[in-house]
Structure 1
Amino acid sequence: MIVKTEVKTYLNYVNGSWIPASTNQVDPSMNPANKREIVGYVQKSGRDDLDQAVAAAKQAQQTWRKLSAPARGEYLYKVANALEKRLDEIAETMTREMGKTYPEAKGETARGIAILRYYAGEGMRKVGDVIPSTDSEAFMFTTRVPLGVVGVITPWNFPVAIPIWKIAPALVYGNTVVFKPAQETAVTAAKVIECFAEAGLPSGVVNLVTGPGSVIGQGIIDHPGINGITFTGSDEVGKRVGLGALARGAKYQLEMGGKNPVIVAADADLDLAVEATVSGGLRSTGQKCTATSRVIVQSEVYDAFKEKLLAKVQQLQIGDGLHDTTWMGPCASESQLTTVLSYIEKGIAEGATLVYGGRRLTENGLEQGFYVEPTVFENVTSDMTIAQEEIFGPVLALIKVDTLEQAFDIANDVKFGLSASIFTKNIGSMLSFINEIEAGLVRINAESAGVELQAPFGGMKQSSSHSREQGQAAIEFYTSIKTVFVKP
């Protein structure tokens, strides 16, 4: 059931209260399926607002860290219940604000609920080990302590799941949070934080400050009161986060871009490979860091694969994500649409063959949205821009190879190393792929996009800071190890 929500101004959430920004400025949040529709207005905050939030988080952390981890976990269970009650409303807001289809938005919101419950349970797990000492009269062990105040900076493409998979572990391990969401999806973010407020978390434990990345994002990077920064976004911005945090000794975690390949071996199940390529590359309009971008196909099955792929792509229904018949929605913003179209133009200019799509869609009622056709190129070489740079749009680049060794070399011939997949029935090919591919997430006979919440997630090369999110791996970032030596 679609729940229509009112258009209003969403405030910052600081020290347990919803307050307007000191700037008295707001930004409209626009529906990318219909730019005439305003989803809501969000604060365009300044540094004074950030300072207030950091001060509140720092004060609250002194008490929050002293709660037992199971007690902190109980709060996360309450947040999960609040989010579950509002699942339809928040999913509908996500679709209207970001553009992904309503079923995808519901799935993401449900994932957020599951993540909260997972980390609520993490409060019951061990946080250290007993270590033998060379001194027979001594007792030595390790424990873990929170970082303090964690700055959370998140993108617009997963406005529920990504914030929650950062905020939930931060809290259960004893940190407090200052959260800066992407301005494009800050209404959705505010509704998520409303669930934290409804759960009754102590004042100052979670704080929301919306505003430009150049002001609030940079402020989090520079702020001496923030002890750790977790960031998901572009590699360009991520490097600035890392350099800024390093300069003042703050801990940082970066999850950045991807240029993810799928390899289709000569013995692959082509129907399965096509289905996964379309889903992995084009769902959410290709706006996933793990989206399939390069499709590397052995020459023996190239023509058959291409024919099946194009037949599938031509069937996709493009439109408003709230419509039942829509398979793919719009780009999330006009600037993102412009970026995708510019990459398509580069592909053509550099000699790739456009075999399907590539146009902005303006007919049949789509003229008010930021729609682009799903796009397929062939005759793509590894040195082309569309084979090297992250497009973050529904663009697939087909690359023909003779051998799997060539496929592995091309798959690794990018600066990114986030996810990769292969379709093959040969166990030897699977094992070679696992050993050779330079990616943090390796999937066999499955699409490149997606990871289970209980498993570590992160990339290699310039896709990450070589840390991992989600699962039990999250404790490594959100805590520090303290070694204790006790002698009577």
Structure 2
Amino acid sequence: MTVPYKHEPFTDFSAAQNQQAFQAALQYVQSQLGKEYPLIIGSERVTTEEKVISINPANKAEVVGVVSKATKELAEQAMEAALKAFETWKKQAPQARAQILFRAAAILRRRKHEFSAYLVKEVGKPWKEADADTAEAIDFLEYYARQMIQLEKGVPVLSRSGESNTFRYIPLGVGLVISPFNFPLAIMAGTTVAAIVTGNTVILRPSDRAPIVAAKFVEVMEEAGLPAGVLNYLPGGEAEVGEYLVEHPKTRFISFTGSRAVGCRIYERAAIVQPGQKWLKRVIAEMGGKDAIIVDKDADIELAAQSIVASAFGFSGQKCSACSRAIVLEEVYDEVLNRSVELAKQLTVGNPEEQATFMGPVIDQVSFDKIMSYIEIGKQEGKLMTGGEGDNSKGFFIQPTIFADVDPNARLMQEEIFGPVVAFTKAKDFDHALEIANNTDYGLTGAVISRNRTNLEKAREEFHVGNLYFNRGCTGAIVGYHPFGGFNMSGTDSKAGGPDYLILHMQAKTVSEAF
């Protein structure tokens, strides 16, 4: 029997001992900066001449670490290693695979602040955001391990007289996992271990903007007893290496989290059956959002403003679930807007290593330039209420930005910005608000702040998103509590941290025996 799953608690940073422990972790990670990390292919550590340099986005002069860059030749070696390991790993008992995840969770729990400190350094997460990222990674390990034990015997099916029937799940093969920078521990770990615990082997391609956190996690999985070749670490190498693996005839499935453009490209290339390919590749894709919070006319104004600001500006808006549209009924529009502006102006933007910082940098120069260009667009499309300024002299800092009176069809209301920018628009009534909310290509998260039960129930049916929240913000899904994934161009609605996620990494086999 396994112990029932419980969500990993967040650290209480108001306690002095926790503050001291986190400061100590930051000091330790500071002493580890600049180290080099090899590729891991089977049992080999491979160093290449070309490197990927990971920079602290809050301090461009600081090198977090250096990783070797993959090539097509090395990608082929990784595929061969993964194929070889699959032959034995697929035969491992699900209980044994789950035990490795439990051990990895225990290691990660012991080193929680260390991993959070790497998140502060490598992607600029403030303390609470980093702590939540690490907690979510632990949750994924624990939750998927328990899920696999439940799925071990398959699902009961009917048997007729003189016949015995079974229905069970078997692994798919080699999976390519492509993970993002914004949750470089939680999403990277979750997508990786979901594939592994179900009996598959993995080639992991973490974001080039967060390869060090991934390298440290691979070390944890090795320490937990994962056999060589089951998890191959293959960062860098630009798009050509990724495309080579997406198109490889031996790749069985691709698990991708990232932008819509890249996700659509992967979906397209994976659909082509290559010479020697025996299957249709499965694609699990999470591709972003254009998430809205609707504020009803009878809403709690303070709750509405707090929810908008926290959801829009947490981790500098670099979440696929971030609130980038506030749709407010006209009766309370000015009140909600003005209070949101007041709250945004109170936010502390700066060095994420300082506990008081609410918002750190955006990830890099490319993101900085893109977000600042959207702010210029916003100045043409709406009224700038606060923010709009950026400073990339030391790091990539952008002030929390609110635009008012934006047309529902404006670019600011339609295109994913992935930065600390939220656009307010006015709705005539609740039906109009729902119409605006559904008026994008995406369908990931949404929230409704209302005291009107009829309107909440209408939203339950008609607000077309994968994750809908009532009377709270639209970010902060917890593994096992809020299975996460979206509709339309937000991806394949593969609900991470949910009861059917692992099944996406397996195929079902029916065996019928007649007597």
Whether TM exceeds 0.5 here: the answer is: yes
- Which SS does the other structure have where 1:170 is aligned? helix
Cα deviation, residue 130, structure 1: 3.1
| Identity percentage of aligned residues | 34
Aligned mate of 2:221, from 168, 179, 196:
196
Q: Which residue of 2 aligns with 1:7?
A: 34
Cα deviation, residue 467, structure 1: 3.1
Aligned mate of 1:288, from 319, 338, 348:
319
Corresponding position: 1:229 with 2:229: no
Deviation string, structure 1 residues 295-348 (Cα, Å, up to 9, x no partner): 000111111111211110010110011112211001111100101001111112
CA distance in structure 2 between the partners assigned to 1:411 and 1:103 by the alignment: 29
- Which SS does the other structure have where 1:41 is aligned? strand
Aligned mate of 2:391, from 351, 358, 361:
361
Q: What are the equivalent positions in structure 2 for 1:387-398 lying under 5 Å apart?
A: 387-398=413-424
Q: Which residue of 2 aligns with 1:109?
A: 134
Q: Which residue of 1 aligns with 2:494?
A: 467
Amino acid at match of 1:387: M
Corresponding position: 1:477 with 2:504: yes
CA distance in structure 2 between the partners assigned to 1:131 and 1:120 by the alignment: 24
Corresponding position: 1:241 with 2:266: yes
Corresponding position: 1:159 with 2:184: yes
- Which SS does the other structure have where 1:184 is aligned? coil
Cα deviation, residue 247, structure 1: 1.1
Which has the higher mean CA deviation after the structures are superposed, 466-475 or 154-163? 466-475
Deviation string, structure 1 residues 45-99 (Cα, Å, up to 9, x no partner): 1011111111111111111111110111111111112222322222111111111
Aligned mate of 2:444, from 418, 422, 425:
418
Deviation string, structure 1 residues 256-299 (Cα, Å, up to 9, x no partner): 01000000001111111111111111010000000000000011
Residue pair 1:102, 1:322 contacting (<8 A) in 2 also: yes
Q: Which residue of 1 aligns with 2:107?
A: 82
Which has the higher mean CA deviation after the structures are superposed, 243-252 or 432-441? 243-252
Which has the higher mean CA deviation after the structures are superposed, 382-391 or 209-218? 209-218
C-alpha RMSD of the superposition: 1.3
CA distance in structure 2 between the partners assigned to 1:58 and 1:113 by the alignment: 28
Aligned mate of 1:401, from 427, 430, 434:
427
CA distance in structure 2 between the partners assigned to 1:54 and 1:456 by the alignment: 31
Give the number of aligned pairs: 480
Amino acid at match of 1:90: F
Q: What are the equivalent positions in structure 2 for 1:267-416 lying under 5 Å apart?
A: 267-349=298-380, 351-361=381-391, 367-416=393-442
Amino acid at match of 1:338: D
Residue pair 1:122, 1:172 contacting (<8 A) in 2 also: no
Q: Which runs of 5+ in 1 are unaligned?
A: none
Residue pair 2:165, 2:511 contacting (<8 A) in 1 also: yes
Cα deviation, residue 378, structure 1: 0.6
- Which SS does the other structure have where 2:473 is aligned? coil
- Which SS does the other structure have where 2:500 is aligned? helix
Q: TM-score w.r.t. structure 1 length?
A: 0.96
CA distance in structure 1 between the partners assigned to 2:33 and 2:190 by the alignment: 28
Corresponding position: 1:429 with 2:460: no
Residue pair 1:209, 1:216 contacting (<8 A) in 2 also: no
Which has the higher mean CA deviation after the structures are superposed, 8-17 or 402-411? 8-17
Cα deviation, residue 122, structure 1: 2.1
Cα deviation, residue 213, structure 1: 4.1
- Which SS does the other structure have where 2:460 is aligned? helix
Q: Which residue of 2 aligns with 1:453?
A: 479
Q: Which runs of 5+ in 2 are unaligned?
A: 1-21, 274-279
- Runs of 4+ displaced beyond 3 Å: none
Amino acid at match of 1:201: L
Cα deviation, residue 244, structure 1: 1.4
Q: TM-score w.r.t. structure 2 length?
A: 0.91
Residue pair 2:310, 2:473 contacting (<8 A) in 1 also: yes
Cα deviation, residue 215, structure 1: 2.4
Which has the higher mean CA deviation after the structures are superposed, 450-459 or 74-83? 450-459
Aligned mate of 1:439, from 452, 465, 470:
465
Residue pair 2:144, 2:502 contacting (<8 A) in 1 also: no
CA distance in structure 1 between the partners assigned to 2:491 and 2:167 by the alignment: 28
Cα deviation, residue 16, structure 1: 3.1
Amino acid at match of 1:144: Y
Q: Which residue of 1 aligns with 2:13?
A: none
Residue pair 2:147, 2:502 contacting (<8 A) in 1 also: no
Residue pair 1:356, 1:374 contacting (<8 A) in 2 also: yes
Cα deviation, residue 33, structure 1: 0.6
Which has the higher mean CA deviation after the structures are superposed, 313-322 or 4-13? 4-13
Residue pair 1:45, 1:210 contacting (<8 A) in 2 also: yes
- Which SS does the other structure have where 2:249 is aligned? coil
Corresponding position: 1:65 with 2:90: yes
Q: What are the equivalent positions in structure 2 for 1:138-153 lying under 5 Å apart?
A: 138-153=163-178
CA distance in structure 1 between the partners assigned to 2:373 and 2:33 by the alignment: 35
Residue pair 2:447, 2:471 contacting (<8 A) in 1 also: yes
Residue pair 1:183, 1:212 contacting (<8 A) in 2 also: no
Residue pair 1:456, 1:473 contacting (<8 A) in 2 also: no
Residue pair 2:327, 2:427 contacting (<8 A) in 1 also: yes
- Which SS does the other structure have where 2:456 is aligned? helix
